[in-house]
Amino acid sequence: MGLLVVGSVGLDTVSTPFDKVNDALGGSATYISLSASYFTGPINLVGIVGSDFPKVYMKMLEEHNIELDGLKIVEDGKTFRWSGKYHYDLNVRDTLSTELNVFEKFDPVIPENWRKSKYICLGNIDPVLQGRVLDQMNNPQFVVCDTMNYWIEGKKKELLELLPRVSVLIINDSEARLLAHEPNLIKAAKKIRDLGPEILIIKKGEHGALLFTEDVIFSAPAYPMEMINDPTGAGDSFAGGFVGYLHRNRDLSPKSLKAAVIYGSTMASFCVEKFSTKGLEELSILRIKDRFREFMNLSRFDES
Amino acid sequence: MGLLVVGSVGLDTVSTPFDKVNDALGGSATYISLSASYFTGPINLVGIVGSDFPKVYMKMLEEHNIELDGLKIVEDGKTFRWSGKYHYDLNVRDTLSTELNVFEKFDPVIPENWRKSKYICLGNIDPVLQGRVLDQMNNPQFVVCDTMNYWIEGKKKELLELLPRVSVLIINDSEARLLAHEPNLIKAAKKIRDLGPEILIIKKGEHGALLFTEDVIFSAPAYPMEMINDPTGAGDSFAGGFVGYLHRNRDLSPKSLKAAVIYGSTMASFCVEKFSTKGLEELSILRIKDRFREFMNLSRFDES
């Protein structure tokens, strides 16, 4: 079975101090799927767009072995649009506008022949919708879930109901502190794992990522980037690389989970090198493995 | 020759949400020396205190093979005192009071028989004084220097004059951004190395540390601490472990520098476990090596 990916598909207008793009391809499901496509296939994408969604983007996704049977196209509807502006310090961004458009009525319907998928990646959408996706599945085995402060603050109860159904929760450090009500990240991680997810990944942007399981704490470095052109989609690219690698290998050992975190970090580093999804469109597994080994050189040390 | 350490020796009154200590042993030279003493000896400490400085602290330092011939005791003078309060989020602290006392007139005089030291660690003091220490030395070969935002903002010109005489600069991430006027840490590191120091270490608190040389970027993880009792002295303990390890081995290869960064991180992790210098007073090289190996487990991964 393919890897099921559910999330937003949208058009982003992004400006940084260096450049700007209008109505470029974006959305969590888009980044996750493209990133995962280098490791496994097919990717079964579930999302919603309007009839204004450019055919050229659909073609590009299909060329990456991303199946779009689950991408609902609303006739005369308008695709979800987000517009943001990054500051000179790219850690800081302002959302200029969010037009939900057809995404406002997104109610994911999983095509019949995709319901047996064992590996599922739930992009950052309303936890109620994430739950409805799982309701439709026959015995999902490995559920990776992203969320954000907006849902932690606004739909806490619904999120807490979802978490026991999730294998891996991926959030950033400020979201972890918010969800656990605890400034110490190590204590926060324990608290969050007690809420359900067996595995927790805390992304720390330019500081790397932490993996927590019952027995393991793993600290992954960040790739040293001198030039970040567009941070949009980094977190989704991380999730895609992580789950795509695991879907291919069907190995959830600590060794494999650690490698998956590094593959996730690798894909995020490629993502931010270019605007929109451009950094993920023309990669090869060879380039990805080269960068994986750069991560190794970056963090390896020995007793001497 | 011994390892020369110059910096403050003081009495700290520290409160956290969990506990409080009054007039406990503190100061950059104190933490650096104690930390380094587990790797090498003797440590030659240069500093200044008043006659109120408790003899019991001097005895404890001497028991760690820290020589105090360079510790000036000002008769009827009062020792430097700092008082601070940490918040529930221990990353945030308020300085409640700083009494410079005898430290205001600190003009480090290096005892004649210590001037041949090849390894020098300059704790965080006025860069003018750091320079005057180097003026007194006969051909120093490896100079490790700490500084802070206070000097970067207030004595930029003097600091810039000092940096070409420094082998290793150790600062934290916000100080690196401030010194280089550059939000991207990797670019900031390049700029700072262009100012003189061949080696730059950027400490990132709970996110670990980065080592930059001409050929190497190394990312060291942070030890996952659930209970930090007192963050005071962590940076100085890092510097002490780093330079102490290198002083013992006299090996400045990339392999050795990476291990030194991990030993520095190890000592910082012991330091914050207890108030004041208590976390550094009763260690053993065996416990230190055990924790070094924990750092290894924390960050090691393989291709799979």
Cβ contact A186–B217 (<8 Å): no
Measured between CA atoms, the residue of chain B closest to residue A221 is B219
User: What string of DSSP letters covers chain A?
Assistant: --EEEE---EEEEEE-SS-EEEEEEE-HHHHHHHHHTTTSS-EEEEEEEETTS-HHHHHHHHHTTEEEEEEEEETT---EEEEEEE-SSTT-EEEEEEE-GGGGG------GGGTT-SEEEE-SS-HHHHHHHHHHSSS--EEEEE--HHHHHHSHHHHHHHGGG-SEEEEEHHHHHHHHT-SSHHHHHHHHHHTS-SEEEEE-GGG-EEEE-SS-EEEEPPP--S--S--TTHHHHHHHHHHHHHHHH---SHHHHHHHHHHHHHHHHHHTTSSTTHHHHS--HHHHHHHHHHHHHHH-----
Whether residue B218 lies within 8 A of chain A, CB to CB, comes out as: yes
Can you tell me the mean pLDDT for B219-228?
A: 94
Whether residue B204 lies within 8 A of chain A, CB to CB, comes out as: yes
pTM for the full predicted model? 0.95
Q: What is the mean pLDDT of chain A?
A: 96
* Distance in Å, alpha carbon of A254 to nearest chain B alpha carbon: 9
Cβ contact A185–B206 (<8 Å): yes
Percent of chain A with pLDDT over 90: 95
Chain B positions touching A262 (Cβ under 8 A) are: 301
Can you tell me the mean pLDDT for B236-253?
A: 98
Of B183, B261, B299, Cβ closest to residue A219: B299
pLDDT value of position A11: 98
pLDDT at A304 over 80: no
Residues B96-106: tens digit of each pLDDT: 999 999 999 99
Of A186, A299, A300, Cβ closest to residue B224: A186
pLDDT at B32 over 90: yes
Whether residue B174 lies within 8 A of chain A, CB to CB, comes out as: no
Of A186, A293, A303, Cβ closest to residue B292: A303
Chain A positions touching B181 (Cβ under 8 A) are: none
Give the Cα separation of B125 and A222 in Å (integer). 32
pLDDT at A88 over 90: no
Which among B266, B260, B265, B271 is positioned nearest to B90, based on CA atoms? Answer: B271
Q: What is the mean pLDDT of chain B?
A: 96
Chosen from A207, A226, A291 to mutate, greatest number of chain B CBs within 10 A: A207
Chosen from B207, B215, B249, B253 to mutate, greatest number of chain A CBs within 10 A: B207
Can you tell me the mean pLDDT for B4-15?
A: 97
Chain A positions touching B186 (Cβ under 8 A) are: 224-226
Can you tell me the mean pLDDT for B267-277?
A: 97
Percent of chain A with pLDDT over 70: 100
pLDDT at B89 over 90: no
Of A292, A299, A304, Cβ closest to residue B259: A304
Measured between CA atoms, the residue of chain B closest to residue A211 is B298
* Distance in Å, alpha carbon of B232 to nearest chain A alpha carbon: 17
Chain B positions touching A91 (Cβ under 8 A) are: 183
Residues B107-139: tens digit of each pLDDT: 999 999 999 999 999 999 999 999 999 999 999
Query: For residue A42, is the peptide bond before it cis, meaning its omega torsion is within 30 degrees of 0?
Result: yes
pLDDT value of position B303: 87
Whether residue A256 lies within 8 A of chain B, CB to CB, comes out as: yes
pLDDT at B39 over 90: yes
Give the Cα separation of B293 and B248 in Å (integer). 19
Domains and CATH numbers, chain B: 3-299 (3.40.1190.20)
pLDDT value of position B163: 98
* Distance in Å, alpha carbon of A52 to nearest chain B alpha carbon: 38
* Paired tokens of B110: 């290096």
Cβ contact A221–B225 (<8 Å): no
Chain A positions touching B293 (Cβ under 8 A) are: 303
Whether residue B152 lies within 8 A of chain A, CB to CB, comes out as: no
Whether residue A259 lies within 8 A of chain B, CB to CB, comes out as: yes
Can you tell me the mean pLDDT for B192-221?
A: 97
The answer to whether B49 and B9 have CB atoms below 8 angstroms apart is yes
What does the DSSP 8-state code read for residue B222? P
Whether residue A96 lies within 8 A of chain B, CB to CB, comes out as: no
Whether residue B217 lies within 8 A of chain A, CB to CB, comes out as: yes
Residues A226-285: tens digit of each pLDDT: 989 999 999 999 999 999 999 999 999 999 999 999 999 999 999 999 999 999 999 999
pLDDT band with cut points at 50, 70 and 90 for residue A223: very high
Cβ contact A255–B226 (<8 Å): no
pLDDT value of position A92: 85
Measured between CA atoms, the residue of chain B closest to residue A250 is B304
| Of the candidate ranges A36-50, A91-105, B265-279, the one whose mean pLDDT is the lowest | A91-105
Cβ contact B228–A184 (<8 Å): yes
Complex-level ipTM beyond the 0.90 threshold: yes
Whether residue A250 lies within 8 A of chain B, CB to CB, comes out as: no
pLDDT at B6 over 80: yes
> How big is the A-B interface in CB pairs under 8 Å?
109
pLDDT band with cut points at 50, 70 and 90 for residue B165: very high
pLDDT value of position B88: 82
pLDDT value of position B18: 85
Chain B positions touching A210 (Cβ under 8 A) are: 224
